Structure 1
Amino acid sequence: MSAPGPAVRRAAAPERSAGPGVRRWRVRQRWAGQRLLLRWLRLPAAARVLVVYALARLFSAFVLAEVARFQEPSAWTPQDPGYADLLVLWDATWYRSIALDGYPDAVPLGADGDPVQSELAFYPLAPLLARLLVATGLPFAWAGSLVSLVAGAAAAVGVRALLHWALAARCTAGAARRGAWSAAVLLCVSPPSVVLQVPYTEGPALALLVAFLLLLQRQRYLPAGAVALALGLTRPVAVPLSAVVVVHLLLRARAGRRRGAVLSGREALRALVLLGCSGAAGLLWPAAAWLLTGRADAYTATMGAWRSGGEVVWLRPWWDVSQHVLGAVAGPALLVVAVVAYVAWLLGRRTAVLGADLRAWCLAYVGYLLLVLDPFTSLFRYLVLLFPLGALVGLHPRRRGALGALVLASLALQVVWTAWLWRFSPPADWPP
C-alpha cells in the first residue's frame, strides 16, 4: 500500500499535534455524551415525552412574554401587559366570563333582534374545570392556563401511547417507537401549540380525544362511550367521532364474519351503547343551551353571530373564499383537487400503518371542517387535532433529518403564529 499523500498528511497533522491532555479531554467528552444519551434512553417513554412537553411550553412562554412587549393597549390588555395578561386574550375572555359568571339565561339579542356573540357558543367543560381552581383563590388566567397545561401533558403522553399501539400491529417494534415518538414531539412543538398553555379548549379536547381513540382501539366500548360524552362538552367534534365509531364497528363486524366469529350479545350491547353515546355527544351542549335559555336553536343561532352571513352555512364558505382568493374557476377547481388528493393519500399504502380508526378520524375530521367551518385563521389551531399524521414522519426513510427539520420549522412558525395571530392589534384583528 502506498504512503498517504501530502494532503492526507496535512489533514492528520493537527490530530498528532494535540497533546495527551487534549486527547483525554476529548475522550471524556465523548463518554459523557454517551452516558447522557444512555440515561435519556433509559427513562420511561412517558417521562421523555413530558420532558419535551415541558421544554416546548417553556419556549412558548418565552415567546408569549416577548410578544407581550409589543402588545398595544386595548379593551383586553393594559398599557404594559405581561405574560398573564396575554393569556386572557381572544376566546379566553369568553371562557373567563363563563368561569366567573356562568352562562346567560336567555339568548342575547342585538338592536335588530338577531342573536349576538355570547358565551352560549362556547362549550362548558374547560371553563368549569378552571372555575374549580378559581374557587381556591387562583386568578382565572393561571387557573385556565393550568387546566390547559395539565390536559396538554396528558394528551402528549397519550399520543405516544396511542400511536405506539396502532403502529405496533403493522410495523416493527422499532418503527412503532419512532412513529409514536415523532407524533408526540410534533404535537408538543407545533406552531399553534401555544394554545396548550392558554385558557382554551384544545388541551382538554386533545386529552379526551386521545383517550377515546385508545379505548376504541382496545375495544373498551363502555369507557369510550363515557369519554365521548365528556368530549361532547368540550368541543363540537362529535360528528366526526360518530363516523369513526361507525367505521370501527363495521370493520369489526366484517372481520368477525370472515373468521366465523359473531359478536356476543354482551359485546353487541356495548357497541350499541358506544354508538349511542358518540351520537348523543353532539347533542349535549345544544340541548343544554336550550334548557338554559328556553330557545331550541340557542346554540346554532348564537354560532351564526360569528359567521359572515349571520348563520351557519354548510360548505359554501370554502367555495366562496376559494373564488375570492384564486378566481371563480381556479379557486373551486384547486379546492376540489386538494380534497381529492388528501383523501387519495390518506387511503393509500403509505398511511395504512395508522390503521382504520386513525385514518377514519383524519378523514372525518377534515370533512367536518369543510362542512361547517369558515376557512379563516382559526383553521391553523383546529388542525392540531390531526396529530396522528405526525407519526408518518418517524417512518420516513430519512426520519432523523426530517423530524429535526420539522421541529425547527415548527418552533420558528410558532413565533410567527404567536406574533401574527395571538397579539391583538386594535381595533380589530384576525383571530387565532
Structure 2
Amino acid sequence: MTAVDASGGLRLGLRSRLLLRWLRLPVAVRVLVVYAAARLFTAVVLAEVARFQPESTWTPANPGYGDMLGLWDATWYEKIATEGYPGAVPLGQAGDPQQSALAFYPVAPLLARLLMTTGLSFGAAGALVSLVAGAAAAVGVEALLRRTLRTRVSATLARRGAWSGAVLFCVTPPALVYQVPYTEGPALALLVAFLLCLQRGRYLPAALLALLLGLTRPVAVPLSVVVVVHLGLRAWAGHRAGTVLGGREAVRGLGLLAASGTAGLLWPFTAWQLTGQPDAYTATMGAWRAGGEVVPLKPWWGISQYVLGPVGPLVLVAGVAAYAAWLLSRRTRALGPELRAWCLAYVGYLLLVLDPFTSLFRYLVFLFPLGALVGLRPGRRVPITGWVVCCLALQVVWVAWLWRFSPPADWPP
C-alpha cells in the first residue's frame, strides 16, 4: 500500500468510526445536537444581520444580538409579561378598536415572567422559553414521526423519514422563532405532545394539552378535526372487528372532543371576561386588518385578485384543491390519518382567518409532518443534505429580509 493509499484508508477508517459513534448515540441526543448546531447558525446570522439594522423605535443603529431579540411582536409579549392585559379594549378617537396585547396569548409571556423572578431580563427569559420548548418539540417531532411511519413503511424508511422531519424542523427558514420571545416554540411542543398522546390513546393528557395550546397560540381550532378523524377511525375499526368502544373510552373520547373544541374558543372567551366585551379578541385582531375587521376568506380572495387579476380566485381554488388531493393521495399515506388531517385542517384554518402576507412563512412551521416525506424514498440516497443547505440559505434571507426592521415601516416576519 502506498503512502497515499494508507492516508486515504486512515481517513476512511476515522470517518467510519465517527459515524458509528454518532449512530450509537440515542436518537434524541442526535436530534438535540442538530438543534443546537442549527440554533448556533441562526445566532450567527442574527448577529451579522444586526450590523445592518438601522436605528428604530426598537433598537439603536448596529445593535447587539440581545437587542435584536426584542423586535416585532416580542414587544407585545414583554408588555404582557411586565404589565399584564388591559381591562378594556383600547379605542381610538373615532371609537375604533386599537392594537393591544389582547391579540396575543398568555402562556409563553407568563412563563417568561416566571423566569424573570430569577433576575433575567425579558429578552433572555423569553428566548430561553422558546429555546427549551423548541428543543422539546424537535425531539418530539422525531418520536411522533417514527411512531407514525413504522406501522406503514419499513423500519429503515421510518427512521429516515423521522430523521429528515426532525432535521428540517430544526433548520426551517423561519427557525429564528425558536430563539426569540415568540410563541411558536411552546405551541409546537404542546402540539407534538398532543398528537403523541392522541396516537397512544391517552385522551386525558391530550385534553389538558389541547386546553394549554388554546392559551398559547391561535392554532387550536383545527385540533377538533384531528380528534374527529381519530375517534371515527377507532369506532370504525371496532365496528369491523365486531366490537364497540367501551364506556370509559367513549366518555374519554367525548371529553377530548369537547376539550379540543373548547381550546379554540378559550382565549376569545378569556378576553371577554377580562374586558367585559364579548368580541374583545376579534375586535382587537381587526385593528391589524386593512378593513378593521376579520372576515373569513376575504383576504385570500382579495389578494389573489390583486396579484393575478380576475383569474386569481380560480387559481386559489385550484391550488387548494391540488394540495388537498395530494395530501389525501397514496404519496402521503405513510403520514397516517391524524397527521394528514392536521396538515389539511390547519391549512383550511389559515385560509379562513389569515391575511396572506409575509407572516405566512412563519405560520407554515406547523406543517412539520410534511418534512418526513423527504426521507421516504426507497432505493435511493435520501437528499436531506440538499434540503438542509437550501433551508439554511433561505433562513439567511428570512432574517435579513423580514426580521431586520427598515424604518419607518416594514413587512412583518
TM-score tier after normalising by the smaller chain length: over 0.9
Equivalent position amino acid for 2:129 in 1: V
- Residue 5 (structure 1) aligns with: none
- Residue 321 (structure 1) aligns with: 303
Counterpart check, 1:304 vs 2:297: no
**In 1: Cα distance, 2:158 partner to 2:27 partner:** 12
Shift of 1:295: 1.1
- Residue 72 (structure 1) aligns with: 54
Identity of matched residues, %: 72
- Residue 402 (structure 2) aligns with: 421
Counterpart check, 1:372 vs 2:353: yes
Residues 393 and 399, structure 1, Cα contact 8 Å, conserved in 2: no
Residue by residue over 1:285-334, the C-alpha shift from the partner in whole angstroms, topping out at 9 and shown as x without a partner, is 11111111111111111011011110001001101000000112x21111
Written as runs of structure 1 = structure 2, the 5 A alignment for 1:29-428 is: 29-328=11-310, 330-397=311-378, 400=381, 402-428=383-409
**In 2: Cα distance, 1:403 partner to 1:261 partner:** 44
**What is the DSSP-based 3-state SS (H/G/I as helix, E as strand, rest coil) of the residue aligned with 2:248?**
helix
Residue by residue over 1:382-413, the C-alpha shift from the partner in whole angstroms, topping out at 9 and shown as x without a partner, is 00000000000000247645211111000000
Residue by residue over 1:137-162, the C-alpha shift from the partner in whole angstroms, topping out at 9 and shown as x without a partner, is 10111110000000000000000000
| Structure 1: runs of 5 or more not aligned | 1-18
| Structure 2: runs of 5 or more not aligned | none
Q: Which contiguous aligned blocks of 4+ residues in structure 1 show a shift greater than 4 angstroms?
A: none
**In 2: Cα distance, 1:248 partner to 1:24 partner:** 58
> What is the number of equivalent residue pairs in this alignment?
413
| Worse overlay, 243-252 or 42-51 | 243-252
Structural RMSD (CA): 1.1
**Higher Cα radius of gyration:** 1
**In 1: Cα distance, 2:301 partner to 2:29 partner:** 45
Residues 396 and 402, structure 1, Cα contact 8 Å, conserved in 2: no
TM-score where L is the length of structure 2: 0.98
Equivalent position amino acid for 1:170 in 2: R
| Worse overlay, 396-405 or 254-263 | 396-405
**In 1: Cα distance, 2:380 partner to 2:373 partner:** 9
**In 1: Cα distance, 2:50 partner to 2:318 partner:** 40
**In 1: Cα distance, 2:35 partner to 2:206 partner:** 26
| Worse overlay, 67-76 or 233-242 | 233-242
Shift of 1:23: 3.0
Residues 286 and 293, structure 2, Cα contact 8 Å, conserved in 1: yes
Q: Provide closer, same or farther for how the CA distance between residues 191 and 379 of structure 1 changes in structure 2, counting only shifts above 3 A.
A: same
TM-score where L is the length of structure 1: 0.94
Equivalent position amino acid for 2:92 in 1: G
Residues 130 and 186, structure 2, Cα contact 8 Å, conserved in 1: yes
Shift of 1:236: 1.1
Residues 46 and 399, structure 2, Cα contact 8 Å, conserved in 1: yes
